[in-house]
Structure 1
Amino acid sequence: MKLLLDQGTPRSSAIFLRQAGFDAVHTGEIGMAESEDEEILRRALAENRVVITLDADFHARLALSQAHKPSVIRVRIEGLRAEQFSELVQNVIPQCEDDLNVGAMISVNDFQIRVRHLPIV
């Protein structure tokens, strides 16, 4: 699966995810460290990537736009180190892979994974 990690996520998580077999890039690695959310969403859509973020704004933007893609995983657990963060993502993706492939907003916290299919109407 192709992933685009947002600026707030640990940058070296992309390295751990690549080592685990994912096509993962971090916005800081591709010159998008200062990019607006809309630009990140456009890039993810163009490259068929899932956005991984700590930022709630991505879900709000997708809901308002009634877009079908890209899928976004919002991690609602702060303070994770890069290895922990990448392990969390590696655990979530297999559980939600079908949802991510068709378009979904996924929220992950300490207790649950919440999936909402796109578009939000």
Structure 2
Amino acid sequence: MNFLIDENLSPRVAELLTKAGHDAVHVRDLQATSAPDSTIMALAMADNRVIVSADTDFGALLAQARTTKPSVMLVREILELRPPELVNIILNHLDVLEPHLSTGAIVAFAPAGIRVRALPLR
């Protein structure tokens, strides 16, 4: 799976996902730090990447655009985890989440579980 890691997460998240066999880049690798969320979404769409972020604004942008791409993984509620722990949670659930992310979804990780909403949002 292809991932675009937002600037509110450590570049280490991208490194660990890459080591696990995925194509992951951090926004700084694309010279997109401080870029508007709409630019981050465009970059993700261009390379068919899933955005991994703590920024809930992506949900509002996707609802406004009524689009099915890009998929977003929100990790705001588990942001206190260290990058290896965060990546392990993502990887441990990826088999179940990948079909949703491939067709378009927002996945929100929380300490109590995971919520999945299909795109486009209504």
TM-score interval w.r.t. the shorter chain?
over 0.9
Secondary structure of the structure 1 residue equivalent to 2:78: coil
The 5 Å alignment of 1:1-121 reads 1-75=1-75, 76-121=77-122
Residue 57 of structure 1 aligns with an amino acid whose one-letter code is: D
Gaps of 5+ in 2: none
Provide Cα deviations, 1:5-30, integer angstroms capped at 9, x if missing partner. Answer: 00001111111111000100011122
Q: Is the 8 A contact 2:78 2:86 kept in 1?
A: no
| TM-score normalized with structure 2 length | 0.94
Provide Cα deviations, 1:83-118, integer angstroms capped at 9, x if missing partner. Answer: 112112212322211000000011110111111111
Q: Is the 8 A contact 1:73 1:106 kept in 2?
A: yes
For these two proteins, the number of residue pairs brought into alignment is 121
| TM-score normalized with structure 1 length | 0.95
Greater Cα offset, 100-109 or 78-87: 78-87
CA RMSD of aligned residues (A): 1.0
